[in-house]
């Protein structure tokens, strides 16, 4: 009997508990009932919990009955709401499957890990979640339901057993049903005798939406039917999972369902795209709904906190931190501005490439109906500060093999490609939809309709190269060779000369400032975005077209456009006109929107100097010089400030730098005069 108990313990618990000294105790002969009772008590006391991470792909919270949706999409999840903690405001940091799961499994943001797109690969990560569980003596197993999470992308590292969706006969299998994934899980559970960490991924609600019977007819929206089918799978899984299992359930991202012209996900950061379900089920915790704002990044330290008590945990209700979500998918695949959002203190700022902004009070306006953006809004600077401290990368490292491209294409994702210019995502999505219509017309050989659609696109966005390519193809098919050559050559011209902004800069650098003005006037008329107003203000100021600069200010004011360039250059003009108070107000507006705007830093410094606030003035001028070392005027003002502060040697050095960079004789004399008077 003693020998049998010894072998039983050795087989079941030796690996996990030898370090705790328990194994040594069982080498001692069990001679009386006290030790026998202690043996069974020890097994009960030290039996390890299991851990399950269940991720639900493409699930937005407002389509789950658990979160108040009127249709009964999640009856099983509803039944467990009194057994765990349910987060009402949980957010994905990126609305794409692979990078979002990397955040969950590493505890790192896309910026920290450098993974922003499906198709990128995870390099070896020492602190990867399955490796942490292996360190604590757990068997690790992963079961995924989409090829986008296949082991070829590096996500299986650290798992003892990983069950993915491999290709068959060279063909990509896009996904498998949660029912089939469960079958694989149940085989593992039947054979496994060790404590485990398991990651399970269901893909059901991802497009295309094809719910199984009876849910194909039960719901008007097939997306809801897919969620209902997935809920059945969750129920089946829970029936098989051991009772002593701590479970975290999370959505990886949401789905736009054609809101704001985005059919699915990846481009925009509105609530439907990034607000996700998050549930924790653990023995002994108090069941409740939580209102605080959390992110999927918090899942990783929460798992660690079960072993390391000092770790941050979702169960501790710690101080809220800003949530930074981003997407570069639109930029890398369609040529849209990158999109960045910050959620903090119940407010949400959406930033379109530092060119356009939306601001929402989520507590009062959870459906984002009322954009309250204003450069003067008191929360704006704080939200923008978090983004400025974590800038988006200009380029992404991604090398796709043919097999990677097959997977992405099979799943309906566009492949990354170089684009010659960027456009607003919400404009671009409309144009892209129209482009798809044109492609359908071409397939149906309705060339006239296709041509009208493409010309309509090019009226709105003259440099949309995809539209030009299709137009060229239509002209070739209809025998209009000259027109085809025109369409194709305009693409080549736009790619060779790049965009109008760059052409205008080239003219300016050649000393042809009026030609630069004309190019930007035309571009701003065609594409009235803040970036173009910024650029046009630069040319008006430097060509001394101050009347046009003031008219430009009135134009953006009437159209409610925020342009730091217009504000700052008009402010610099107002300084020349001795309108110091008005100039100061404009610099304040610009710095609230962009605290690093160079012209506003310089202008604010000059205004503070003129108002005799020399210490503060010096800070702004030095910040500006850190950006633009060759501006003689900034060095000149720095010299004046230092002179007022009694720092004559430093002032002399600044005047010397001003003179070194100044090319205008009249100002050189002014600098010499100030130097003599030190």
Sign of CA dihedral 306, 308, 313, 317: positive
Residues 6+ apart with CB under 8 A from 6: 26, 27
Of 214-223, 404-413, 426-435, 516-525, give the lowest mean pLDDT range: 404-413
pLDDT for position 417: 55
pLDDT band for 69, please (50, 70, 90 cuts): very high
Torsion of CA 577, 578, 581, 585, to 10 degrees: 40
pLDDT of 351-377, one tens digit each? Answer: 998 888 899 999 999 999 999 988 788
Whether the CB-CB separation of 425 and 419 falls below 8 Å is answered with: no
Reference 49, options 168, 197, 223, 258; nearest CA is 197
Q: What is the pLDDT of residues 594-632, one digit of tens each?
A: 888 888 999 999 999 999 999 999 999 888 887 777 888
Whether the predicted pLDDT of 93 surpasses 60: yes
Mean of pLDDT values over 439-447: 86
Quick one: pLDDT at residue 484?
61
Greatest mean pLDDT among 5-14, 168-177, 453-462, 667-676 lies in 667-676
Q: Which of 121-130, 291-300, 395-404, 436-445 has the lowest mean pLDDT?
A: 395-404
Rounded to whole angstroms, what are the CA distances from 619 to 155, 382, 583, 626, 671? 47, 20, 18, 11, 21
Q: Residue 4: what pLDDT?
A: 43
Residue 278 has pLDDT above 60, yes or no: yes
Instruction: Please tell me the pTM assigned to this model.
Output: 0.69
Please check the confidence at residue 32 and state whether its pLDDT lies above 80. no
Residue among 224, 203, 206 nearest 215 (CA): 224
Q: What integer is the mean pLDDT of 31-39?
A: 49
Instruction: Kindly state the percentage of the chain with pLDDT values over 90.
Output: 48
- Give me the pLDDT at residue 493, please: 42
Give the pLDDT of residue 604.
Answer: 93
- The whole-number pLDDT of residue 11 equals 39
- pLDDT tens for 378-426 read 898 889 889 988 989 887 766 556 665 555 565 555 555 555 457 889 8
Between 184 and 319, name the one with better pLDDT.
184
pLDDT band at 43 (very low <50, low <70, confident <90, very high): very low
Can you give the pLDDT at residue 236?
A: 96
Q: Angle at CA 425, nearest 5°, toward 419 and 426? A: 145
Count the neighbouring beta carbons within 10 Å of the beta carbon of residue 124: 9
Residue with tokens 């080239």: 506
């Amino acid at each position: 009997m003693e020998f049998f108990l010894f072998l039983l313990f050795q087989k079941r618990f030796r690996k996990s508990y030898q370090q705790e000294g328990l194994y040594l105790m069982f080498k001692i002969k069990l001679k009386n009932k006290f030790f026998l009772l202690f043996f069974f008590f020890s097994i009960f006391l030290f039996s390890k919990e299991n851990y399950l991470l269940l991720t639900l792909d493409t699930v937005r919270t407002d389509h789950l009955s658990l979160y108040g949706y009127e249709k009964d999409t999640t009856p099983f999840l509803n039944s467990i709401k009194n057994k765990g903690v349910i987060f009402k405001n949980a957010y994905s940091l990126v609305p794409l499957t692979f990078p979002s799961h990397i955040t969950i499994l590493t505890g790192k943001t896309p910026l920290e890990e450098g993974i922003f797109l499906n198709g990128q690969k995870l390099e070896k990560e020492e602190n990867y979640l399955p490796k942490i569980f292996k360190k604590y003596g757990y068997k690790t197993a992963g079961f995924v339901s989409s090829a986008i999470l296949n082991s070829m992308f590096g996500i299986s590292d650290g798992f003892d057993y990983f069950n993915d969706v491999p290709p068959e006969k060279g063909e990509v299998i896009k996904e498998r049903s949660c029912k089939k994934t469960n079958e694989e899980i149940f085989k593992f559970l039947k054979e496994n005798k060790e404590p485990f960490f398991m990651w399970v991924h269901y893909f059901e609600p991802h497009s295309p939406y094809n719910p199984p019977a009876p849910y194909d007819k039960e719901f008007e929206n097939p997306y809801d039917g897919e969620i209902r089918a997935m809920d059945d799978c969750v129920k089946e899984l829970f029936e098989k999972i051991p009772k002593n299992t701590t479970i975290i359930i999370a959505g990886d991202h949401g789905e736009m369902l054609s809101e704001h012209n985005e059919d699915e996900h990846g481009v925009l950061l509105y609530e439907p795209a990034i607000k996700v379900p998050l549930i924790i089920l653990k023995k002994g915790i108090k069941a409740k709904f939580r209102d605080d704002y959390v992110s999927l990044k918090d899942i990783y330290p929460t798992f660690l906190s079960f072993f390391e008590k000092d770790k941050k945990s979702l169960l501790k209700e710690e101080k809220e931190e800003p949530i930074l979500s981003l997407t570069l998918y639109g930029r890398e695949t369609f040529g849209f501005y990158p999109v960045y959002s910050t959620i903090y203190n119940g407010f949400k700022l959406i930033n379109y490439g530092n060119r356009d902004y939306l601001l929402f009070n989520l507590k009062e306006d959870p459906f984002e109906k009322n954009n309250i953006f204003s450069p003067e809004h008191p929360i704006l600077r704080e939200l923008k500060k978090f983004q400025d401290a974590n800038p988006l990368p200009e380029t992404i490292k991604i090398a796709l093999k043919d097999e990677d491209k097959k997977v992405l294409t099979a799943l309906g994702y566009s492949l990354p490609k170089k684009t010659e210019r960027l456009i607003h995502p919400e404009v671009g999505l409309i144009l892209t939809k129209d482009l798809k219509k044109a492609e359908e017309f071409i397939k149906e050989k309705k060339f006239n309709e296709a041509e009208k659609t493409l010309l309509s696109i090019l009226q709105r966005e003259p440099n949309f190269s995809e539209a030009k390519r299709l137009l060229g193809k239509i002209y070739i098919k209809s025998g209009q060779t000259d027109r085809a050559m025109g369409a194709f050559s305009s693409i080549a011209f736009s790619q060779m000369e790049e965009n109008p902004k760059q052409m205008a800069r080239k003219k300016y650098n050649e000393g042809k400032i009026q030609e630069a003005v004309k190019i930007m006037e035309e571009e701003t008329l065609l594409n009235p975005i803040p970036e173009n107003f910024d650029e046009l203000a630069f040319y008006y100021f430097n060509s001394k077209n101050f009347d046009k600069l003031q008219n430009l200010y009135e134009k953006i004011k009437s159209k409610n456009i925020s342009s730091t360039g217009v504000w700052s250059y008009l402010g610099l003009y107002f300084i020349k006109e001795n309108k110091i108070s008005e100039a100061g107000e404009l610099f304040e507006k610009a710095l609230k929107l962009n605290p690093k705007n160079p012209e506003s830093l310089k202008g604010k410094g000059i205004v503070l100097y003129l108002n005799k606030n020399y210490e503060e003035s010096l800070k702004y001028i030095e910040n500006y010089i850190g950006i633009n070392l060759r501006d003689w005027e900034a060095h000149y003002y720095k010299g004046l400030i230092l002179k007022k502060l009694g720092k004559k040697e430093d002032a002399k050095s600044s005047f010397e730098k001003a003179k070194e960079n100044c090319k205008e004789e009249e100002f050189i004399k002014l600098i010499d005069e100030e130097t003599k008077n030190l």
